[in-house]
Structure 1
């Protein structure tokens, strides 16, 4: 159903979102020891300030899904995101892969995370489980902890349903992740798959095709950038160009993730339940 998104009746909704901060994911992956000194990660000292400056220049309020570990180690960076008018969502405690974690481990991650959010006076509305997958864990767990929407890997949109809970779903396909264009080993996620990185121009072409498909389907999509990978000026400039392109596209309602979630929640008859992805990408 086209023409149902946002106040202007756009064909589709698009949110530009960011993942990762600090050493959290590197600690989870084992590339940084848990007891290594922290506090000067390049994603906080270089990439994040450049991104915040760029987003302000292009007048776009984005959503940052942040590992809550950063609230203890980089509180100033998290405050800077929020004070600049961006949404701060949850991306695990230490980027633990939900689809490979026990229910007890996830409960502990949520407890630590929400305590850290509360200490900074921030209440996360959106959840993007690390790797974008729920695994065997119910959507009810997120609803019980007060989340208002979930961002998951997949292409279906609408709401995702647990045994008792129903949350708006903001989906993203794996080729809407910047690593598919920038990072060796992730490039097989592109459509069509590739063996080598293609750089910002290739990313913009890929994201344009995703937006075309989303508009034709009358859907919504999240486009994902990882803060640590915006380590070159041309990559930051490409995000600014993308913001301008989407803002000028009459087919697109360019909004923040929580704004899209509110739109879906307020119109349950228009947005039926959708399936979510249940497997990780083959990288």
Structure 2
């Protein structure tokens, strides 16, 4: 898959390489300035090719988690293929970064019905892949009594939806597509304000190669400034959120949970 779409397409390959090579250091510097933790869902192909950049994530105290090897669409893979990717990824994280991830975000925004059980085999305790609530929730998984905590993200907070340069669709007609940065910031802040008022969870989907361009860093910093202006917001790595939600006290007496298996 990668050989055809990346190595055979130098323009796209360099766009992907921009993320760990140029953009990631900006993100890490910004997070340090705001003293905020983060979770990075990293395809292990990236870990293999930019090990020093990825070690910097861990050395800064942030979490790394599973995101496929070559950003594969898990919904299109059979059980054997999914296990092969997880086995390879687990070994790369261990050998290169000396970490054992407990989190997973599906690269394609969807998964196969068998994926949750496979994740459990590899010690994954949470996912941030689905969209079923404004708060974390538990997914029942056959063969894994603890289940899987889902930390839902939102497409509205995916930078690809607004900031990734596209030639199509050409909207407005005749123009290439990138949303006005001021409108993107207003949308993101409105999403945060709504979640804050109701005491909910807010999870972003940000890609360094998209958001951490020089002109867009001001947008990210303004968004962080807006959120950190509230002194009673918990900024946490996803593994910390999952651990909190795994506590027995967080499970309702008659839980309404999703089921996978």
The alignment's TM-score, normalised by the length of structure 2, stands at: 0.82
1:245 corresponds in structure 2 to: 226
* RMSD across aligned positions (CA): 3.1
Contact 2:211 2:220 (8 Å CA) reproduced: no
Stretch of structure 1 that moved more, 100-109 or 151-160: 151-160
Contact 1:172 1:221 (8 Å CA) reproduced: yes
1:129 corresponds in structure 2 to: 106
1:75 corresponds in structure 2 to: 51
Contact 2:159 2:211 (8 Å CA) reproduced: no
Q: How does 1:80-229 map to 2 (within 5 A)?
A: 80-120=56-96, 121-156=98-133, 157-165=136-144, 166-184=147-165, 196-229=177-210
Contact 1:155 1:221 (8 Å CA) reproduced: no
Larger radius of gyration: 2
Contact 1:207 1:223 (8 Å CA) reproduced: no
How many residues are paired up?
245
Gaps (5+ residues) in structure 1?
1-25, 189-194, 278-283
Q: Deviations over 1:166-194 (max 9, x none)?
A: 11111012122001111256999xxxxxx
2:173 corresponds in structure 1 to: none
How far the C-alpha of 1:202 sits from its partner, in A, is: 2.1
Q: Deviations over 1:22-55 (max 9, x none)?
A: xxxx9377143399999x9222221111111111
- Residue aligned with 1:81, SS: helix
Alignment of 1:44 onto 2:20: yes
| Structure with the largest fraction of helix | 2
How far the C-alpha of 1:158 sits from its partner, in A, is: 1.2
Stretch of structure 1 that moved more, 221-230 or 207-216: 207-216
Stretch of structure 1 that moved more, 202-211 or 58-67: 202-211
Q: How does 1:6-85 map to 2 (within 5 A)?
A: 27=2, 30-33=5-8, 41-85=17-61
Structure 1 residue ranges, 4+ long, deviating more than 6 angstroms after superposition:
34-38
Distance 2:245 2:67 in 1: 21
How far the C-alpha of 1:209 sits from its partner, in A, is: 2.5
1:9 corresponds in structure 2 to: none
Contact 1:128 1:152 (8 Å CA) reproduced: yes
Q: 1:152 to 1:37 in 2, by over 3 A?
A: closer
Q: 1:181 to 1:110 in 2, by over 3 A?
A: same
Contact 2:37 2:235 (8 Å CA) reproduced: no
1:281 corresponds in structure 2 to: none
How far the C-alpha of 1:250 sits from its partner, in A, is: 4.9
- Whose relative contact order is higher, 1 or 2, with alpha carbons under 8 Å and at least 6 apart? 1
Q: 1:180 to 1:60 in 2, by over 3 A?
A: same
